[in-house]
Structures are given as C-alpha cells and as structure tokens.
Amino acid sequence: MTVAGIPLIQHHTKEAARFRERLPVTVQPALGSAQDEWRGVPHFAHTLGRIKRGVSVTISDIQRLVADRFGVAKHDIVGTSTARAYSLPRQVAMWLARNTARNPSFPLIAREFGRDHRTVMHGVAVIDARMAADPAFGQMVADLQAETSRRLVA
C-alpha cells in the first residue's frame, strides 16, 4: 500500500519526523528519534494521542508563574505600566513564552500581552543581553524555564 507514491511505513515515519519537529524541545527527548520510536502505525497513533492529551504550558500559565516569582499580579504583567517593577517581569515572561511555550510567533505572544510584536522582540533581546551580562539573573531565568518545562511534560 502506498500514500502519494510512498510506501505506507515510510510515509508514517516521515509523518512522525514532521510531528517531532513541531514538538517543544523538552518533549522531544522523551520520544527518542522517529526511527527509534517507530513500531508501526498503532504505536505512532498512541504516542501522538498521548502528546495531544498531555498538559501543555500556555502563555497565560507563564504569565502567572512569572508574576508569582516576581511578587506582582498577572494583570500588572499584561498591563500598560512601564515601571521597571512590571516591565522586567513582563520581558522575562515574553522571553519564556518565546523559548518555552512551543516557540510561538512574536505576533501571537504580542496578542497575549496586549502589545506589538516589535515590543516582544525588544523584550526578548533585552532578556538575552541581561542573561549574558548577569549570570545570577541568567540562572533565575533558567530556573523559571526549567519549572515551565517540568509543567510541560508533567
């Protein structure tokens, strides 16, 4: 049996590889490679269903987590204030959203924060620069990212 001229087993192996490319990095090691995990169509369908039913971290979850860690309210993170007490947690949440939550686009993150995509791009760049310059800050952001990743695969 073939699908678009490709033998069925090869077609499903390619589909498994395409599916893995769309998964967050934290989930990929749990699956192994597409070749290692391949045990036929039923196994692939089971794995696909397990991932789809699994708990995923949303941008809203990240906003709540960052608000708790910085001691501010979630509405302050998505609010309009430019005070440093709110802008830094907001930028950290934007960075985490970009690097943890299934790598969404800048416009999608911007909608969740009520901002323009260029603001999100700037926020991500600011956090990248600060992480490079301040190892303690970088470790704090890495801890937050690990916490969101644990929630993602839990």
d(CA 154, CA 85): 31
DSSP state letter for 50: H
Distance between CA atoms of 108 and 98, rounded to whole angstroms?
A: 10
Q: Please name the residues in contact with 74: beta carbons below 8 A apart, sequence gap of 6 or more.
A: 60, 63, 64, 67
Report the number of secondary-structure helices (H) and strands (E) in the chain. 10, 2
pLDDT at 45: 41
Entry pTM: 0.63
Structure confidence at residue 58 (pLDDT): 86
- Model confidence at 92, pLDDT cuts 50, 70, 90, reads very high
Look at 54-63, 70-79, 94-103, 140-149 and tell me which has the smallest mean pLDDT. Answer: 54-63
State what percent of residues in the chain have pLDDT above 90: 50
Looking at the DSSP assignment, which residues form a beta bridge with residue 6? 3
Percent of the chain as helix, strand, coil, to the nearest 5: 75, 5, 25
| Residue-level pLDDT at 41 | 42
User: What confidence score (pLDDT) does residue 33 get?
Assistant: 39
> What confidence tens digit (pLDDT) does each residue in 19-32 have?
555 545 444 444 44
- Whether the predicted pLDDT of 97 surpasses 50: yes
Average pLDDT over residues 64-73: 94
* Of 50 and 149, the one with more pLDDT: 149
What's the CA gap between 98 and 82, in Å, rounded? 21
Give the contacts of 92 (CB within 8 A, at least 6 positions apart): 66, 70, 127, 141, 144
* DSSP string for 110-149: HHHHTS-HHHHHHHHHHHHHHHHH-HHHHHHHHHHHHHHH
Topology of domain 59-153, per CATH?
Chromosomal Replication Initiator Protein Dnaa; Chain: A; (1.10.1750)
pLDDT for position 40: 41
The chain-wide mean pLDDT, for the chain, equals: 75
